[in-house]
Protein backbone atom coordinates (compact mmCIF):
# COMPACT_ATOMS: atom_id res chain seq x y z
CA UNK A 1 0.00 0.00 0.00
CA UNK A 2 1.29 3.44 -0.99
CA UNK A 3 0.11 6.72 0.53
CA UNK A 4 1.19 10.09 -0.83
CA UNK A 5 1.18 13.67 0.44
CA UNK A 6 2.11 16.61 -1.81
CA UNK A 7 3.25 19.94 -0.41
CA UNK A 8 5.12 23.12 -1.31
CA UNK A 9 2.63 24.83 -3.59
CA UNK A 10 1.75 28.49 -3.39
CA UNK A 11 1.37 31.77 -5.24
CA UNK A 12 4.37 33.03 -7.20
CA UNK A 13 5.04 35.63 -9.87
CA UNK A 14 5.89 34.66 -13.44
CA UNK A 15 9.59 33.89 -13.71
CA UNK A 16 9.78 32.74 -10.11
CA UNK A 17 10.60 29.35 -8.64
CA UNK A 18 8.92 26.83 -6.42
CA UNK A 19 9.90 23.43 -5.03
CA UNK A 20 7.26 20.78 -4.52
CA UNK A 21 7.70 17.73 -2.35
CA UNK A 22 5.92 14.39 -2.26
CA UNK A 23 6.17 12.29 0.87
CA UNK A 24 5.35 8.62 0.41
CA UNK A 25 4.68 5.82 2.82
CA UNK A 26 4.73 2.12 2.11
CA UNK A 27 7.40 -0.51 2.22
CA UNK A 28 7.49 -0.95 -1.58
CA UNK A 29 7.98 2.73 -2.46
CA UNK A 30 11.50 2.28 -3.81
CA UNK A 31 10.29 -0.27 -6.36
CA UNK A 32 8.22 2.30 -8.27
CA UNK A 33 9.09 4.80 -10.90
CA UNK A 34 7.52 8.05 -9.71
CA UNK A 35 5.92 10.86 -11.63
CA UNK A 36 4.43 14.31 -11.26
CA UNK A 37 1.12 15.28 -12.82
CA UNK A 38 -0.92 18.46 -12.90
CA UNK A 39 -4.52 19.40 -13.49
CA UNK A 40 -5.63 22.89 -14.45
CA UNK A 41 -9.23 24.09 -13.98
CA UNK A 42 -11.49 22.57 -16.63
CA UNK A 43 -8.75 20.30 -17.94
CA UNK A 44 -7.77 16.69 -17.47
CA UNK A 45 -4.78 15.55 -15.48
CA UNK A 46 -1.58 15.59 -17.53
CA UNK A 47 1.78 13.93 -17.00
CA UNK A 48 4.71 16.26 -16.31
CA UNK A 49 7.80 14.27 -15.32
CA UNK A 50 9.06 10.80 -14.37
CA UNK A 51 12.03 9.49 -12.44
CA UNK A 52 12.99 5.82 -12.44
CA UNK A 53 13.01 3.75 -9.26
CA UNK A 54 16.76 4.22 -8.72
CA UNK A 55 16.85 7.84 -9.88
CA UNK A 56 18.98 6.90 -12.86
CA UNK A 57 16.76 8.35 -15.59
CA UNK A 58 14.34 11.25 -15.87
CA UNK A 59 11.72 12.13 -18.46
CA UNK A 60 9.85 15.39 -19.01
CA UNK A 61 6.93 16.80 -20.89
CA UNK A 62 8.25 19.06 -23.65
CA UNK A 63 6.68 22.20 -22.21
CA UNK A 64 8.63 21.91 -18.92
CA UNK A 65 11.99 20.70 -20.22
CA UNK A 66 14.81 22.93 -19.05
CA UNK A 67 12.61 24.51 -16.38
CA UNK A 68 11.54 21.62 -14.10
CA UNK A 69 13.74 19.03 -12.40
CA UNK A 70 12.45 15.87 -10.75
CA UNK A 71 14.47 14.10 -8.05
CA UNK A 72 13.98 11.45 -5.40
CA UNK A 73 15.52 10.26 -2.16
CA UNK A 74 14.58 6.66 -1.45
CA UNK A 75 16.10 6.81 2.03
CA UNK A 76 13.52 9.47 2.95
CA UNK A 77 10.72 8.25 0.66
CA UNK A 78 10.40 11.63 -1.02
CA UNK A 79 10.08 12.87 -4.59
CA UNK A 80 10.67 16.54 -5.36
CA UNK A 81 9.92 18.79 -8.30
CA UNK A 82 12.01 21.93 -8.65
CA UNK A 83 10.18 24.41 -10.87
CA UNK A 84 12.01 27.41 -12.30
CA UNK A 85 10.99 30.13 -14.76
CA UNK A 86 7.36 29.57 -13.92
CA UNK A 87 4.69 30.70 -16.35
CA UNK A 88 0.98 31.43 -15.84
CA UNK A 89 0.15 28.30 -17.83
CA UNK A 90 1.86 26.25 -15.11
CA UNK A 91 -1.02 27.11 -12.79
CA UNK A 92 -2.61 23.85 -11.68
CA UNK A 93 -2.99 21.39 -8.86
CA UNK A 94 0.10 19.18 -8.81
CA UNK A 95 0.08 15.50 -7.86
CA UNK A 96 2.63 12.74 -7.56
CA UNK A 97 2.01 9.07 -8.24
CA UNK A 98 3.75 5.81 -9.07
CA UNK A 99 3.98 5.54 -12.84
CA UNK A 100 4.62 3.05 -15.58
CA UNK A 101 5.37 3.39 -19.26
CA UNK A 102 2.59 2.40 -21.63
CA UNK A 103 4.05 2.41 -25.09
CA UNK A 104 5.51 5.88 -25.54
CA UNK A 105 3.50 7.49 -22.74
CA UNK A 106 3.58 7.57 -18.94
CA UNK A 107 0.56 7.09 -16.72
CA UNK A 108 -0.33 6.43 -13.12
CA UNK A 109 0.30 2.87 -11.99
CA UNK A 110 -2.13 1.58 -9.41
CA UNK A 111 -4.13 4.84 -9.22
CA UNK A 112 -2.40 6.16 -6.10
CA UNK A 113 -2.91 9.89 -5.45
CA UNK A 114 -2.44 12.36 -2.63
CA UNK A 115 -4.46 15.52 -1.98
CA UNK A 116 -2.43 17.56 -4.46
CA UNK A 117 -0.86 20.97 -3.95
CA UNK A 118 -2.01 24.17 -5.65
CA UNK A 119 0.46 26.16 -7.73
CA UNK A 120 -0.67 29.58 -8.92
CA UNK A 121 1.55 31.71 -11.15
CA UNK A 122 0.54 35.33 -11.61
CA UNK A 123 1.36 37.38 -14.69
Residue 29 reports pLDDT greater than 80: no
Residue 27 reports pLDDT greater than 70: no
Q: Counting Cβ atoms within 10 Å, is residue 25 exposed (0-12), middle (13-18) or buried (19+)?
A: exposed
Residue 15 reports pLDDT greater than 70: yes
Instruction: Give the residue-averaged pLDDT of 26-37.
Output: 84
- Which one is predicted more confidently, 2 or 47? 47
Q: Counting Cβ atoms within 10 Å, is residue 123 exposed (0-12), middle (13-18) or buried (19+)?
A: exposed
- Which one is predicted more confidently, 27 or 56? 56
Instruction: Give the residue-averaged pLDDT of 47-65.
Output: 95
The tens digit of pLDDT for each residue in 81-92 reads 999 999 999 999
The confidence score (pLDDT) of residue 42 equals 94
Give the DSSP per-residue string, 38-94: EE-TTS--EEEEEE-TTS--EEE-GGGTTTEEEEEETTTTEEEEEE-S--GGG-EEE
Q: What span, in angstroms and rounded, lies between the C-alpha atoms of 98 and 91?
A: 22
Q: For the chain, give the mean pLDDT.
A: 94
Residues 65-95 as b or e (16 or more Cβ within 10 Å = b): eeebbbebeeeebbbbbebeebeeebbbbbb
Amino acid sequence: QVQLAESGGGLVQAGGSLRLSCAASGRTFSAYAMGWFRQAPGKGREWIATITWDGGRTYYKDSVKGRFTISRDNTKNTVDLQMNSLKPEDTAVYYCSPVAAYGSTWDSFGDYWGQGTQVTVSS
